[in-house]
Amino acid sequence: MSEQEKVQNGQEPVAEATSAADETVQLSDEQTIIARLEAELAAAKAHASEQQDLALRVRADAENSKRRAAQDVEKAHKFALEKFSSDLLAVIDNLERSVGFIDRENDAVKALAEGVDLTLKGLLDTVAKYGVEQLDPQGQPFNPDFHQAISMQPHPELAPNTVMFVMQKGYALNGRLLRPAMVGVSKKPD
């Protein structure tokens, strides 16, 4: 029987029935492929998101490392002279004591006194150029961050915790304390 006869007799052709089944199978295969591709796409998006997050973290770590390195270099430049400056303090102290003991009324030592004064001033100006500042807190309120109290004495005219005298001047390098000023502090009279 031919295909035409089958159609006339009310029978479906076999080829058409097979193609409908193939179509269902093809749709099913296409849906499977689409589902697999969608899963792969979702996995790729998740992986891309993880990689982007990782890249952002690596970038932030690099920026932090760069910032820390710059701060370390800045501190190294700023405080490289700390040991050297500390060693010069003894020289400055000795020159200040020399100036204090010179008899300025004696004509024989006036030139010497002037020379020591100029040497001390030159040394102080030079270390100041490199960030060393002298702390002379005479008459100022006591500050435990920059002063070391060696005695407390009652004084009726000064407010309590005022620096009455400076036994040894203090020094700071770029705001960092090299040596505290050793001071006598007033207290309330008994």
Judge if 177 and 104 occupy the same domain.
Answer: yes
Residue at which a domain ends, from 63, 78, 93 = 78
Q: Other C-beta atoms within 10 Å of 161: how many?
A: 15
Q: For residues 128 and 139, give the distance between their C-alpha atoms in angstroms, rounded to a whole number.
A: 23
- pLDDT value at residue 3: 53
- pLDDT value at residue 151: 92
Domain hosting 7: range is 3-78
Provide the residue-wise pLDDT of the chain in tens; the chain has 190 residues. 555 555 455 555 544 445 555 555 566 888 889 999 999 999 999 999 999 999 999 999 999 999 999 998 888 877 788 888 889 999 999 999 988 888 888 888 888 889 999 999 999 999 999 899 999 999 999 999 999 999 999 988 888 999 999 999 999 998 889 999 999 999 988 7
Q: Other C-beta atoms within 10 Å of 51: how many?
A: 10
Judge if 13 and 44 occupy the same domain.
Answer: yes
**Considering its fold, how many domains does the chain have in total?**
2
Judge if 86 and 163 occupy the same domain.
Answer: yes
Judge if 96 and 175 occupy the same domain.
Answer: yes
- pLDDT value at residue 8: 53
Residue at which a domain ends, from 36, 56, 78 = 78
Judge if 32 and 43 occupy the same domain.
Answer: yes
Q: Give Cα separations from 184 to 127, 146, 187 (angstroms).
A: 26, 13, 10
What CATH number is attached to the domain comprising 98? Answer: 2.30.22.10
- pLDDT value at residue 144: 93
Burial class from Cβ neighbours inside 10 Å (0-12, 13-18, 19+) for residue 180 reads buried
> Rounded to two decimals, what is the model's pTM?
0.61
Judge if 88 and 178 occupy the same domain.
Answer: yes
Judge if 65 and 109 occupy the same domain.
Answer: no
Task: List, in sequence order, every residue forming a beta bridge with 184; answer none if it has no partner.
Answer: 151, 165
Judge if 145 and 165 occupy the same domain.
Answer: yes
- pLDDT value at residue 2: 53
Tell me the CA end-to-end span of the chain in Å, nearest whole number: 136
- Composition of the chain by helix, strand, coil, percent to 5: 60, 20, 20
